Amino acid sequence: EDKVVQSPLSLVVHEGDTVTLNCSYEVTNFRSLLWYKQEKKAPTFLFMLTSSGIEKKSGRLSSILDKKELFSILNITATQTGDSAVYLCAVDTGGFKTIFGAGTRLFVKA
């Protein structure tokens, strides 16, 4: 059975800290790995990763994929209170089938 596992499930940090969120997966067919940020409403798209070892960056956020180890990390540097959210990792297995992890709930204290 295809699965996506995220860790930790929750995390509390102070403003300015750097955090690393983990995502591992086991799927029959892999097309891409996606990261989303979910605040009070629906998820917003952050990154899509298809190739190993190529880091994607957007401001203080960055992500990288290791297809050999079936693993991805999402880094957030110099965290701010506005980064508090649930971060979802998902794997597109093709045919528009996307498997979501349970999410990591991040809380950044002022």
Partner 1 sequence: GAVVSQHPSRVICKSGTSVKIECRSLDFQATTMFWYRQFPKKSLMLMATSNEGSKATYEQGVEKDKFLINHASLTLSTLTVTSAHPEDSSFYICSAAGQTDQPQHFGDGTRLSIL
> Which residue of 88, 91, 106, 108 would you call a contact of partner 1, by CB under 8 A?
88
Q: Should residue 102 be labelled a site residue for partner 1 when binding is judged by CB under 8 A?
A: yes
Q: How far is CA 74 from the centre of its chain?
A: 5
Shortest reach from residue 30's CB to partner 1, in Å: 13
Cα dihedral 19, 51, 45, 97, rounded to 10, equals -120
DSSP 74-108: EEE-S--GGG-EEEEEEEE-STT-EEE---EEEEE
> Which residue of 19, 21, 27, 34 would you call a contact of partner 1, by CB under 8 A?
34
> Which residue of 42, 58, 69, 82 would you call a contact of partner 1, by CB under 8 A?
42
Q: Should residue 98 be labelled a site residue for partner 1 when binding is judged by CB under 8 A?
A: yes
Go through the chain and tell me how many residues it has. 110
- By CB under 8 A, name the binding residues for partner 1: 31-32, 34, 36, 41-45, 48, 88, 92, 94-98, 100-103, 105
